Structure 1
């Protein structure tokens, strides 16, 4: 299952530490290719960067080995890994990269030179953040410009700018790392508005670190932590230590003893309390991590999803885990219950800004207008979810957005209808996560929560969750 089901520690103390610039090698590639294959990889990276930034195309879809972007599929696995590393670094650091390039230009690039801009960004990401020799990045960028009719006349400019960037990178990284947020201005402004400037800076800093792999286990979290070289988090999830191999090769995977799920994503399904013998509907269920949690808790689960392919994936995941649920392909907004349920889980569609550590393209494919549309959709879905449970039944509403317009504000608007009431979450029930529970008794996690410890990375997805009870 995906980590964004996506994904003995305590939350870090609040502090005012400035975000440090990411160090070269943070994406951990070790590629230095100067052959024709290396050029094709850089060309693919530039084309895919343009698709994300200029055309708002999801990176996940383009990176699919079977149905992804054609230029990506043509590459061998080593070059695909290089493209992924370049794109992740470029998208994580794009405002800073563009600021550094801009500081080296005597005049701005001409209008219509977006292809040239992408060539420079791809090369700069390698020079500044990846374990690739600077000369290789520069030489291949110049060759890339020379082979593109749109950029051929700028080849000497590419060479001059990138060589200067290579010489001055330490100074530029130190300066830009303290003055330019790594996230786009529109999102930075929203974070500051919701969380305040110091916390917004901590969140933005945390977004620069790739997410760890967390797993949810059927039982014996401590035992599986030992077997998998992991650490048990306050959420009950097991975090793996710097793992970068094939997940299915790990002990217990084939036996269905655990599944990949970010620690924050594991929280909503745990908020119902005892579920033995109760009927629960999982309204946006695929890929199925939360469905599996509900089944393990003893519920009889009906899992809905409007995507046939995603529902098939859910069914396959449940089969591996040896768990059973009734599945139905349907848009939950049109679903009607023949018999009302005891509880409903609505992990609603959202902007996914809480998952930027693993999906850095989100901030370039989404914007304020998307958040507004999604918040209105969530509001309608939540109202419908409340009609599917018995009077006194519970609805857990959650999503993986950091934007409170998609979380807290949706809840307040629905509570204003008078048809439900909030069931406050007690911080005492969540040792180590007390700071993630708001004064109103809702969960609000951010990537700046959960401190690194003993070789294990910190952080978790940004998540919102609330428990609502339908009134009679």
Structure 2
């Protein structure tokens, strides 16, 4: 990679960090604009990797910067962004120090350029390093420790230190033809950074990528046997494929046409079928009640922080409260579409009780015709926590095997 190419990747990484920390955007949503100057896929991937690693280690990077400056740099100062990018490469990504700083300096001019060079040089001479276990942002660590205890918060920090493994989900009739760790039936875990496209069975549609915790909601609906099912907020399609492969007649509903395009591609690759509807579920309704509903509601996504570390920095308490209101509205509306005797599963990939436990407590208080169907013996591995009959996966579950995403899942039936 020549100097010009190297600087272009760092410029894209800086734009990504600014998009997350200044504008509150998800990394994936900001990538196309931030990497607009990059033609090569590996340059785009490198820019994304720099930004993601910086977000994983942001409190520790900022502590180093603050310890090496006489006057604290503003949070949004370009010099701070440049130092974050240079330091995370040199201290966490194996980039030689001279390359890390040389490719960043062109991004700052004048006084900031001298400042960035001086601070980076001082830290290099001190042989500064980052802790093995990253520090969670203070408000996140405090919130999770308050809600779940110090052990869970510590486990979350440990999970930030390493890329998550690759989880594959198999249709019931497709036996895996590769070696890996199976945490439950139809699941296989491979090492992190495993290339997807070259794996056995990819082209044949034998499996799809889906975190092991994300596969639980659809599992709790059981075998389909031709029953009708709604997969609400369905994109990108992992749960739709689970339901279709289990024998449900599935209608997949999502408001995002672009995300549903990916769902259709996955369905075509796996040879599975579902009716696909582009709609806002607060305005849409099915033609008739159905036997099963899976509502994987839009949420803060704090439970998927391992793959999306930006959620640690962009999600505030006010947003959590607003999302919980939307989830309650979606659950109330979806409940009307369930046949008596049918099954409804509500799930969120959130570690916030406001979006999980509190939403269903209010729902049950308002709907005497619904009750929780507890997870039964043998439905899930014994180590999966099922408080009050619901599922709550937290950092620490399967920690030594690579962890799992944070989810809350509740199953109801209607009388």
Same fold (TM over 0.5): yes
Which of 31, 35, 60 lines up with 2:28 in the alignment?
Answer: 60
* C-alpha contact (below 8 Å) 1:34/1:136 kept by paired residues: no
Measure, in 1, the Cα distance between the counterparts of 2:76 and 2:130: 25
Determine helix, strand or coil for the equivalent of 2:252.
strand
Identify the residue that residue 71 of structure 2 maps to in structure 1. 107
1:24-423 equivalence runs, <5 A: 35-63=3-31, 68-69=32-33, 71-109=35-73, 111=74, 114-145=77-108, 148=109, 152-170=110-128, 172-174=129-131, 182-219=135-172, 223-224=175-176, 227-234=177-184, 236-245=186-195, 247-417=196-366, 418-423=368-373
- How has the CA–CA distance of structure 1 residues 249 and 112 changed in structure 2, closer, same or farther, with 3 Å as cutoff? closer
Contact 1:127–1:166 (Cα < 8 Å) also in 2 = no
Query: What is the SS of the residue equivalent to 2:126?
Result: helix
Q: 1:168 to 1:296 in 2, by over 3 A?
A: same
Counterparts of 2:75 and 2:409, CA distance in 1: 44
Equivalent residue, structure 2, for 1:450: 398
How many residues in Structure 1 have an aligned counterpart in Structure 2? 414
1:34 Cα deviation (Å)? 6.1
- Matched residue SS, 1:131: coil
Q: Distance in 2 between matches of 1:365 and 1:277?
A: 42
* Structure-2 change in CA distance of 1:158 and 1:427 (3 Å): farther
1:347–1:365 distance in 2 versus 1, CA, 3 Å? same
TM-score, L = length of structure 2: 0.93
Pick aligned residue for 1:424 from 367, 374, 378: 374
8 Å contact kept, 1:256–1:322: yes
Please give the alpha-carbon distance, in whole angstroms, between the structure 2 residues aligned to 1:253 and 1:319: 12
Say which SS state the counterpart of residue 231 (structure 1) adopts. Answer: coil
Report SS of the residue matched to 1:215: strand
Distance 1:54 1:213 in 2: 31
Question: What displacement does 1:102 show?
Answer: 0.6
Report the CA distance between 1:400 and its aligned residue.
Answer: 0.8
What's the CA shift for 1:220?
6.0
Aligned mates of 1:465, 1:371 — CA distance in 2? 17
**Partners in 1 of 2:245 and 2:34 — Cα distance?**
41
Partner deviation per Cα, 1:18-39 (whole Å, 9 max, x = no partner): xxxxxxxxxxxxxxx5612212
Deviation, 1:71, is 4.1
Contact 2:168 2:211 in 1 (8 A): yes
What CA RMSD, in Å, does the superposition of the two structures yield over aligned residues? 2.1
Deviation at 1:70, TM superposition (A): 5.3
Cα 1:427–1:406, aligned 2, differ >3 Å: closer, same or farther?
Answer: farther
Contact 2:300 2:320 (C-alpha < 8 Å) held by counterparts: yes
- The answer to whether the 8 Å contact 2:331/2:346 transfers is yes
Change (3 A) 1:71 1:217: closer
**C-alpha contact (below 8 Å) 2:348/2:408 kept by paired residues:** yes
Q: 70-79 or 385-394: which moved more?
A: 70-79
Distance in 1 separating the partners of 2:414 and 2:76? 56
Query: Structure 2 vs 1, CA of residues 267 and 338 (structure 1 numbering), >3 Å: closer, same or farther?
Result: same
If asked which structure has higher relative contact order (CA below 8 Å, sep 6+), I would say: 1
Structure 2 counterpart SS, 1:402: coil
| SS in structure 2 at match of 1:344 | strand
What 5-or-longer segments of structure 2 have no aligned partner? none
What is the Cα deviation at residue 204 of structure 1? Answer: 2.4
Aligned to 2:412: 468
| Partners of 1:87 and 1:199 in 2: CA distance | 25
- Separation in 2, partners of 1:294, 1:71: 36
Counterpart contact for 1:425–1:437, Cα < 8 Å? no
